[in-house]
Amino acid sequence: MQTQLLGNAKQVTTQNDHIIIQTAEATAKIWVYAPAIIRVNITQTPDKPDASFAVIQQPETGIKFTEADNELTITTGQLILKVNKTPLRFSFYTAEGKVLSEDDARFGVNWQNERVVNYRKLYADEKFIGLGEKTGDLNRRGTHYVNWNTDASKHTIYTDPLYKTFPFFIGLHSGLTYGLFFDNTHKSYFDFGATTDDEMSWFGADGGDMNYYFFGAQGVADIIKDYTWLTGRMEMPPLWSIGYQQCRYSYMSADEVLSIAQKFREHNIPADVIYCDIDYMDNYKIFTWNDEAFPDPKGMIDKLKALDFRTVCIVDPGIKVEEGYKQYDEGVAKNYFATYTNGDNYIASVWPGRCHFPNFFDDEVKEWWGAAFTALTEPGVEGFWNDMNEPAAWGQNIPYLVKFGDRYMAEVRNAYGMEMTKATYNGTRQILGNKRPFMLTRAAYCGTQRFSAVWTGDNTATDEHMLYGQRLVNSLGLVGMSFTGVDIGGYTGNPTPELMLRWNSLGVYIPMYRNHAEIGTAMREPWEWGQENMAIIRKDIELRYRLLPYIYSGFYESSQNGLPLSRTLAIDYTPDENVFDVRYQNQFLFGNSLLVAPVESTKLTAEVYLPEGEWYRFGNDKAYEGGMAHTVPAPLNDLPVFVKGGGIIPMQSVIQSTNEAGDGILYLHIWKGIQDSTFIYYEDDGVTYDNERGIFHKREISYHAESNTVMLAVAEGSYTSKFNTLKLISHGFDKSIKEKEALYHSGVIEISL
């Protein structure tokens, strides 16, 4: 094997939207996508079509550069790229000329056979955050990772790789920020100075191009905004999908599903969603129902609807090899499945036994798959859980001979789950018309946020899984995935009652709030824990429902600017070293104003770090000074959650499901701050796409510290809010909590505190 370094520029030309630099080894191209986004592609196969699963934007036209001596310079409003010609090396600077990131001068980009790697200079104080669903610490400096979507069942808190691939990270050094998205679906590698004597970081892949987007915005939030501009943002989720979700592998019959739903109502525990895991099917054949255990799916779902429950069903990609099974027969007849190189359909075993795997990289296959969802939508299913789509196969070692159409598994494996989910989304969206489907997937690649929520797979019922799971959620937020969840309580094993309570209380602040457990584990539903514990679980689920106006508005923000609901403190408090301290690294902001500190179930006090500013304990309004750590009580019925001074939190009365109209009162909670603050309140019907046609209700709520007033600006959009009364509740202004009432309407509302 030889190492081939990228050599000298021989020729420089420009096309309308890109610069082309030819070397003996490769063709390098440069595009400007936005003032803070430059793309570099270095390829040894320049004639291959340029396609991306992730990117939805086009480059700017009319690219220009200046040339001096041995250097080309591309200047945008916000970034400078200097290209050294001999040898070809790339260095990125801020508009003021401060270096953000640059190739290692010796090795830059190079190849060993098909493997392409970029070695970059590592700065002494450089930190790295991102890569999405990856174990390890918030600051990834000194570690390395592989992207290769894997059915990581029984994973530990150190396992790598897991289910998803997000080759996007953010670098922080010298008070500067930059982002880098390596858009390549081959097996890829990231090394943040693990074994290079602190000299270099590097990333690369087993094949494909050195194809990356460099982000130069100053500020982590702005980099996430730019990254999600490039790769897309989430749609508003169905409101019901952000309520409480109950799942189990599996509720074994329609009767069991109904009795579980019924019990939520009997116990007055709010909930919106119940799942059917694989046992609803006939022998795990996708798009079928088990006619003994689920003889009348429509009847079951109608009854669930009458109980205000929505139904989500699982689908796996594996199509059972069985003559007479529609999907098998059609797929074989039309060559819709993955094959070996000689054209034989590839077979591996998953839940149904021997299976074929649809080639989701083909549009016709996608349509065929999507259209089959009538088997689920006709009885009334509204949520679709895409599982086992890494793809998983027992043994977990799909041979490198396997192809999806023209492409080898190795080239596109990391995008398989995303393309399956896209097919499910396109199909169900078309069938459901104006109704929003809920979409969940286990495997994902960059851009999946456009059409699906994700969860972090098969975790375990331990405290360490709860804590690291929160880090996964926070890290997924850095790569544009806002709608994320973990199996609350832990999928494998049985949580202690204390862990169940603690995890459930943390779940209030996890974007997707789903309790799920593996087959063979003890039942996990809220009433399984005794009266006293059930009361605590109920209170927490009620809190989730009270917070829905805040949470739904938070999702609106994600849909507009890509910022996640669960935010590592590294987004808002980047320069503060403490937020990277392993003692505090699990803490996060939930929306703009709540700071949540996950705590083990075995500890009843916690050391919490509060960043600069004023903070109040959510629930009792005790004031805390920011910029320091505090030891605070953490009883099992009161997770340490703090509100930022100036925090604006719209809440509602408890409802048993999002289908309930409620009492029409919007509780607007405001905590005293020394600075002005604002909140964008958002509401729509929660179920249709009418919001995309202006039928929403949105307004800015602002708190003015000096005049002690709260202003609700005129509401935009033509949707009539479900609220008619406003109760303003002020906290921290003096000892007592003050309440003021007003009519809620779409015109300006001004209230002094």
Known catalytic residues are 387, 390, 458
Closest CB 517 distance from ligand GLC, rounded Å: 8
Closest CB 394 distance from ligand GLC, rounded Å: 12
Q: Give the nearer residue to ligand GLC in terms of CB position, either 248 or 429.
A: 248
CA-CA distance, 9 to 83, in Å (whole number)? 10
Closest CB 153 distance from ligand GLC, rounded Å: 6
CA-CA distance, 119 to 103, in Å (whole number)? 6
On whether the CB atoms of residues 683 and 719 are closer than 8 A, the answer is yes
Closest CB 428 distance from ligand GLC, rounded Å: 19
Helix (H, G, I), strand (E, B) or coil at 165: coil
CA-CA distance, 341 to 348, in Å (whole number)? 15
CA-CA distance, 467 to 548, in Å (whole number)? 24
Which residue, among 482, 474, 450, has the nearest Cα to 565 in the 3D structure?
482
Distance in angstroms between the alpha carbons of the first and the last residue of the chain: 73
Closest CB 16 distance from ligand GLC, rounded Å: 46
On whether the CB atoms of residues 412 and 185 are closer than 8 A, the answer is yes
Q: Give the nearer residue to ligand GLC in terms of CB position, either 104 or 458.
A: 458
Q: Max Cα separation, the chain?
A: 79
On whether the CB atoms of residues 275 and 313 are closer than 8 A, the answer is yes
Distances (CA, A) of 426 to 151, 229, 363, 371, 439: 24, 21, 11, 9, 11
Q: Give the nearer residue to ligand GLC in terms of CB position, either 249 or 744.
A: 249
Amino acid at 2: Q
Closest CB 248 distance from ligand GLC, rounded Å: 8
Scan for tokens 């993955």, then name that residue.
338
CA-CA distance, 83 to 716, in Å (whole number)? 47
Q: Give the nearer residue to ligand GLC in terms of CB position, either 396 or 707.
A: 396
Ranked by CB distance to ligand GLC, the top (closest) residue is 249
Q: Give the nearer residue to ligand GLC in terms of CB position, either 183 or 387.
A: 387
Residues found near ligand GLC in the complex (CB under 6 A): 153, 249, 277-278, 314, 387, 442, 457-458, 516
Closest CB 250 distance from ligand GLC, rounded Å: 7
Which residue, among 201, 227, 235, has the nearest Cα to 552 in the 3D structure?
235
Q: Give the nearer residue to ligand GLC in terms of CB position, either 314 or 569.
A: 314
On whether the CB atoms of residues 486 and 449 are closer than 8 A, the answer is no
Query: Sign of torsion, CA 548 553 555 556?
Result: positive
Counted residue by residue, the chain has a size of 753
Closest CB 313 distance from ligand GLC, rounded Å: 11
Looking at residue 496, the DSSP 8-state letter turns out to be: -
Looking at residue 437, the DSSP 8-state letter turns out to be: P
Segment 12-20 long-range contacts (CB within 8 Å, at least 24 positions apart)? 12/67, 12/72, 12/85, 14/63, 14/64, 14/65, 16/61, 16/62, 16/63, 17/58, 17/59, 17/60, 17/61, 17/62, 17/63, 18/59, 18/63, 19/63, 19/65, 19/72, 19/74
Q: Give the nearer residue to ligand GLC in terms of CB position, either 138 or 398.
A: 398
Q: Give the nearer residue to ligand GLC in terms of CB position, either 172 or 376.
A: 376
CA-CA distance, 539 to 600, in Å (whole number)? 19
Which residue, among 173, 201, 181, has the nearest Cα to 132 in the 3D structure?
181
Closest CB 351 distance from ligand GLC, rounded Å: 7
Q: Give the nearer residue to ligand GLC in terms of CB position, either 209 or 279.
A: 279
> What does residue 645 show for φ and ψ, rounded to 5 degrees?
-55, 135
Q: Give the nearer residue to ligand GLC in terms of CB position, either 76 or 246.
A: 246
For residue 432, what are its two tokens? Answer: 């459901």
Q: Give the nearer residue to ligand GLC in terms of CB position, either 186 or 442.
A: 442
Closest CB 554 distance from ligand GLC, rounded Å: 25
On whether the CB atoms of residues 221 and 488 are closer than 8 A, the answer is no
Which residue, among 187, 268, 744, 341, has the nearest Cα to 545 in the 3D structure?
268
